[in-house]
Amino acid sequence: MLGENQSRVDQYLDEDGIDEYLDKIYGETNIYDTDVAIGNRRFLSPIATLGTSFYKYYLVDTLKDVKPWRVRIRVEPRNREDALFSGYIYIRLDGSYALDQAELTINEATNINWVKDLNITLLYSENQAHHFFS
């Protein structure tokens, strides 16, 4: 044998770039941020300061079968083609008015590369310092 040549595919992959891309897709979603990154798009949170300019809100129900009581609010984009969510948010009625839960979707018109449908469910719980975390 005169020589051997070996090449590996991992020599040609940008692992940092792949990690960054996967973080954008599978990273944590925090609805308390003004905007939420999903793939290559940023979506305005329904509880952002500017939310009332871009979302419609409908009080759907008061849930008295849970402690503390919560209100269920339907959120819909004013313009269906904007990068906005649709779904429900649940607000606690214990005086904190904290976001307790969110069930959000996006529609096809928002065009996130290869994503046809996306459902996000966020559950928040209160810690000893009375802060809410998912």
> Domain locations in the chain?
9-133
The answer to whether residue 124 scores a pLDDT higher than 90 is no
Structure-block tokens of residue 9:
């595919």
- What is the predicted pLDDT for the residue at 62? 95
pLDDT digits (tens, 9 = 90+) for 62-95: 999 988 999 999 999 999 888 899 999 999 999 8
Q: What's the rounded Cα separation, in Å, for the pair 47 and 92?
A: 14
Q: What's the rounded Cα separation, in Å, for the pair 83 and 99?
A: 21
The answer to whether residue 28 scores a pLDDT higher than 80 is no
Residue with tokens 């020599």: 11
Structure-block tokens of residue 113:
């590369």
Looking at residue 47, its amino acid is I
Let me know: does 79 contact 86? Beta carbons within 8 Å: no
Structure-block tokens of residue 124:
């928040």
What's the pTM value of the predicted model, to 2 decimals?
0.76
